[in-house]
Structure 1
Amino acid sequence: MSRKEIEEGGLAGDTTRSLFFVSLALYRLDKMTNVQELTIQKQVVTLTSGRDTHWCVSVSCTNQGNFCVFDFLTIIVVIVRCVCPCVSSSRPRYKLHYFKARGRAEVTRLVFKAAGVPFVDETFTMGEWPNLKPSMPTGSVPVLEMGGDMFPESGAIVRWAARKFGLAGKSDAEQLRVEEVLAGADDIRDLFLSWFFKSDPQVKTEVEEQMKQKACGFLGRWEDQARETRSSQRVYTYMVGTSLTAADLTLFDILEQLSSVPSIDLSSYPKLQNIRATVASLTPIKSYLQTRPSYPF
């Protein structure tokens, strides 16, 4: 591990305590003549029960010099600061601003939950929105707050989070397929939200018919593309590849929304229903759904 890597890993917490410990660690590593190499490797594994992170740490030493207890503690400090840069702060780094609704923010919530990344879910009512609107960059939500900056646009947020947390697909083809599902779901969601808020019965019926045609076109295509992955215990269905991606989380959300539309028969899409069941069975998603408020849309 190089000095630069130690500095970058140690300062990620951005606190005075981080700076002190990393400076101390760098000083001691310079003085340790018997430590040839300190290697820290990270491996993220996607499991059927969710995502897990494994760290492999190895220290290569020579027989020269005295390896004192303080040197050992220094290595522990470096490992903790590099492997767990947020150990000095219990506050989540991310805050998501949106209405008390699933709407355009739910897929982002699902991505964070599936990845096991803590965030603040800052929700508010429609009545509170007029006072909050001027503080949002484009006067709309969702907005992701990160490092003091505010980032709008639901599509941009979801795509960034999927890439950041390893849920955007493994190959170029998989990534493009994930993008296709996200874009198609956005088209359906636009019509769904328009339909949901329509009060005129005739207009509502017209929008519902448009939504049905659009949704059934996408759902039929996705039904053909979905693939089953068998394990010793059960069959898992994924939209892209053989592991969880943002496409599966997006389908889970859009199927939840469409289940409230009377004219759309979701039983015609058994593979997509299996994807919905696969996502709901993941431990972090299951825990989230058990405590999630009952939102109208």
Structure 2
Amino acid sequence: MRKALPRCRGWTDFVDDWQPRDLILVTRKAPRDQAQKLLFEHHKEAFPDELVPLLYRPRDSRLQNVLVTIPGPDMAKEELVLNDVVEVSVETAQEVLDAKWGQDWALGYALTVHSSQGLTIKDPQKSSTSTSSPGAAPPPDTDGRPEPAYDEAVARKNIGRKIQSYQRVDAAKGHKCNLRLKDVEALKEKQRNRCSSCNIELLWCYEPKDTRQFSVDRIDNAKGHKRDNVWLICLECNRKRGVAALTHCEATKNGGLLPGNVSAGQLQDLFDSI
């Protein structure tokens, strides 16, 4: 991401020019959380009378388009959806951080790229992009982790292992998987080794839990992993797609629109094999 940015600034330089209404987009949760903490401390010191942005993040995803009590002495209510922003005093924001207003709120200075999709930036609000934790300067898209060395043999082995996994999953569901190693390599070239969802650079040699690793995601989950039905996305985006599908299905089930005997295993089938 740094290569695509017109100018990169150090954290100290950035904070000197920062205003509470400005928004930061980050690639990962860890730098987001660290930036939020540091900016709130700076906000209290430099802008004690200005309002603090709070992000609505209900733990229960069904609590959307409903009246929500806004933290603060007035206890006003507004109809909110996920990632809506409200503004409160510094004192109320501190109470939120102290968990006095439940677990459905977070500071709204920074969002991950995933969470910001569809967000409208309003004038005179400024938006900045961060690829690393405040005060650090790691390589692009790493969150401070060392970039694994690329080894073509290892990369091909990882592709083959994942294709075998997709074949097993598709066979169990009665789908067909006609992917070959050359198909995945062609997608890598076509997408310039970028995630189709968040545009980070994909890894082909990685630690098992590294969310930057490639995955072959189905565009239409009603079909198998076929050449004309897949794209490359990172593991984190693949997981988010699966969680969103599972959450939607759970909510539908709880709302009585699905049979009550639908099992957790059947719901789990909504997840892509990763």
Larger C-alpha radius of gyration, 1 or 2?
1
TM class, shorter-chain normalised? under 0.3
Provide the TM-score with structure 2 as the length reference. Answer: 0.25
Provide the TM-score with structure 1 as the length reference. Answer: 0.23
